[in-house]
């Protein structure tokens, strides 16, 4: 059996669902444009630079979930998926996912973006497993805080290890393992698999991939 892991934002998606979710809430008037848009852009630039404080970002990104009932959040997300996300899914991305699913491999998305935002997107691709940052809940309502280790940088390895353990597996259980990503933030997990693939990579990942002889592909 083989293992296939996909990053989501700017990898399977031609854009960033985390960033776009906040922009969507700003357009809906749920978040204050003047204050929140500047912060959203600032955090996104920090992510690209590799300087993001993930816990500071999650305080910003998860807070709106705690202010609204789940039914309203779910309704907004359905609109978000239709208007913002589906246009970011390319035929090439769908085809790559289907290629791996068709061979019976164990396939998952591994993303720092929280599971509320990413769960419906992963289901849109037909991918059966999601390893993501978990927004904490109490009594079915979000608290505005993460639960456990965020799936970010080396945290992705910890979260994937825990997920595989829950299935009675580990990295050594697989003949081959792939991880597709666009970001230098994912280098720790890319180094753990047998077949790392850089997808429309940022400059730092592209340089590393070329130096290491990793495949570089585009899904755009």
Q: What is the pLDDT of residues 123-182, one digit of tens each?
A: 999 999 999 999 999 988 999 999 999 999 999 999 999 999 999 999 999 999 999 999
Whole-number pLDDT of residue 152:
94
One DSSP character per residue, 178-199 reads EEEES-GGGHHHHTTSSEEEEE
Whole-number pLDDT of residue 77:
98
Catalytic residue flag (residue 7): yes
Q: Which of 7, 16, 18, 186 is catalytic?
A: 7
Round to whole Å and give the CA distance between 41 and 185: 18
Whole-number pLDDT of residue 34:
82
Q: Which CATH class is domain 3-217?
A: alpha beta
Whole-number pLDDT of residue 35:
80
Q: Give the chain's residues under pLDDT 50.
A: none
Catalytic residue flag (residue 182): no
> What count of other Cβ atoms lies within 10 Å of the Cβ of residue 155?
17
Strand partners, 3: 106, 177
Whole-number pLDDT of residue 105:
97
Task: Delimit the domains of the chain by residue range.
Answer: 3-217
Whole-number pLDDT of residue 37:
86
Whole-number pLDDT of residue 40:
84
The residue ranges of DSSP E strands in the chain, in sequence order, are 3-6, 106-114, 129-138, 141-147, 177-181, 195-199, 216-217
């Amino acid at each position: 059996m083989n293992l296939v892991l996909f990053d989501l934002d700017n990898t399977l998606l031609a854009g960033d669902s985390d960033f776009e979710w906040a922009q969507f809430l700003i357009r809906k008037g749920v978040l204050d444009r003047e204050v929140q848009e500047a912060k959203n852009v600032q955090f996104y630039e920090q992510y690209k630079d590799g300087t993001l404080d993930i816990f500071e970002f999650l305080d910003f990104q998860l807070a709106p979930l705690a202010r609204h009932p789940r039914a309203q959040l779910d309704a907004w997300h359905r609109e978000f998926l239709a208007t913002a996300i589906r246009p970011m899914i390319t035929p090439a991305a769908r085809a790559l996912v289907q290629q791996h699913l068709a061979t019976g491999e164990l396939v998952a998305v591994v993303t720092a973006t929280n599971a509320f935002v990413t769960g419906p997107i992963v289901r849109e691709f037909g991918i059966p497993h999601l390893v993501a940052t978990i927004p904490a809940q109490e009594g079915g309502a979000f608290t505005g805080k993460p639960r456990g280790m965020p799936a970010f940088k080396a945290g992705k390895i910890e979260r994937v290890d825990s997920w595989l353990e829950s299935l009675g597996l580990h990295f050594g259980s697989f003949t081959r393992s792939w991880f597709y990503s666009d970001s230098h933030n994912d280098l720790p997990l890319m180094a753990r698999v047998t077949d790392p693939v850089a997808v429309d990579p940022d400059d730092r990942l592209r340089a590393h991939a070329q130096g290491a002889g990793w495949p570089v592909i585009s899904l755009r």
